[in-house]
Each structure stands twice: as structure tokens, then as C-alpha cells.
Amino acid sequence: MKIERIIGRTCQLALAIWLCATSVALSDGEHAAQDGTNGYNVGWAPRRGAQNGRMNGEPGGERLLDRLLSNTNLAAEIGLDEETIAKLREETHALKDRQVELTVQIQKLSLKQADLMPKLMSAPDANADEIMNTIDAIGKLRTEQAKLMVQNLITVRKYLTPAQISKAREKIRAQMRENNEARPAK
């Protein structure tokens, strides 16, 4: 009877660990789908109390760039010509494409990790190296994602002067204030 209890509790513990690992591995895909960042900041949520993910209300580099590329009037107001906008659009699309590729690779590896966990828990002779290698691969891909986010900011800096960036931020902030004031009070 005592052995049956020990086996039963061991099975319960193994199941609990497997469920936790599976939910963590699968949640990577949910962050990408829910954060609405079009491939940026995948897996990162805005800080509590942050407006658009920024504590001081300023648009971030990605958001600034998205607005510049979609709003030709704003781009013209800060002195960007069509050629510069085309170059910015081309470089940022390449970065976004790579970001999407990385997200897909991370999701696939997360599923692989989730599949390996039950094997690790159920077979005493299971090799942990495969799951550790999968975790290392996911970590490398996340590092590459972080570097791509910084590369996006470097791209903004490459084509815009500090004065243009500041002017664009001010215009975007003013537009955000106008939009907030135009909303009916709740």
C-alpha cells in the first residue's frame, strides 16, 4: 500500500511538472499573438501604468517609425523625402520579416520542448541533453530578436536626425492629446 501511494504521488508530481512546462512552452505563441506589436517586442508586455508601453507617454522607436511610414504628412513635416521613406520602409520590412521568422522558429522549438518533457519525466534513462539543447536554441533566437529590436532603432537613427526624431515625437504626442480630448468622457 505504501508503494502504491509513493507511485501515485510520483505520477501526480510528474504530471504537474509536465503541465507547467507545456503551458510555459506554449505561452510563447500566445504572447506573440496578443501583444499587437507586429513582430516587435514579442513576449514582452508594457509596464504597468505605461501609455503605449512607455512610462512617459513618448512613442518608442518602433511606434515612431510605423507612424512615419504610414503618415506621409508627418514625414513631410519633419523633412523626410520619398526616397528616404522608401529606404526606411525597405530596411524595416526586412527586419520585421526576420522577426516573424524568429517567432515561428521559437514557437516550433517550444512545441518540441513541450513534447520532450513527458519523455524526460516518464523514462528514467531519458537523455536530458536534447531538451537542454532545445532550451539553448530558444535562448539564442530570443537574443537575436532583442538585437533586431535594437537594429530597428539604429535604422531610425541612420535616416533621421535627433531634431527630426524630437519633432516627430512632439507631433505624435500632440496628436495623441488631441485624440484623447476628442473622446467623449466616460
The model's pLDDT over 91-132, given as tens digits with 9 standing for 90+, comes to 999 999 999 999 999 999 999 999 989 888 888 788 889 999
End-to-end CA distance of the chain: 64
DSSP per residue, 129-171: HHHHHHHHHHHHHHHHHHHHHHHHHHHHHHHS-HHHHHHHHHH
At 7, the pLDDT band (50, 70, 90 cuts) reads low
What's the whole-model pTM score? 0.58
What DSSP element (H or E) covers 44?
A: none
* Residues paired with residue 130 on neighbouring β-strands, in sequence order: none
Asked whether the predicted pLDDT for residue 134 surpasses 90, the reply is yes
Residue 53 is predicted with a pLDDT of: 43
Query: Mutual orientation of helices 82-122 and 129-159 as an angle, nearest 10°?
Result: 170
Mean pLDDT of the chain: 75
* Residues paired with residue 51 on neighbouring β-strands, in sequence order: 54
The number of beta carbons lying within 10 Å of the beta carbon of residue 177 is: 11
Residue 5 is predicted with a pLDDT of: 59
Residue 54 is predicted with a pLDDT of: 42
* Residue of 134, 153, 146 whose CA lies nearest to 63: 153
Task: Calculate mean pLDDT across residues 155-170.
Answer: 90
Phi first, then psi: what are they for 180, rounded to 5°?
-65, -40
What grid cell was written down for 98? 526576420
What is d(CA 135, CA 141) in angstroms, rounded to the nearest whole number? 10
At 15, the pLDDT band (50, 70, 90 cuts) reads very low
Task: Calculate mean pLDDT across residues 77-101.
Answer: 91
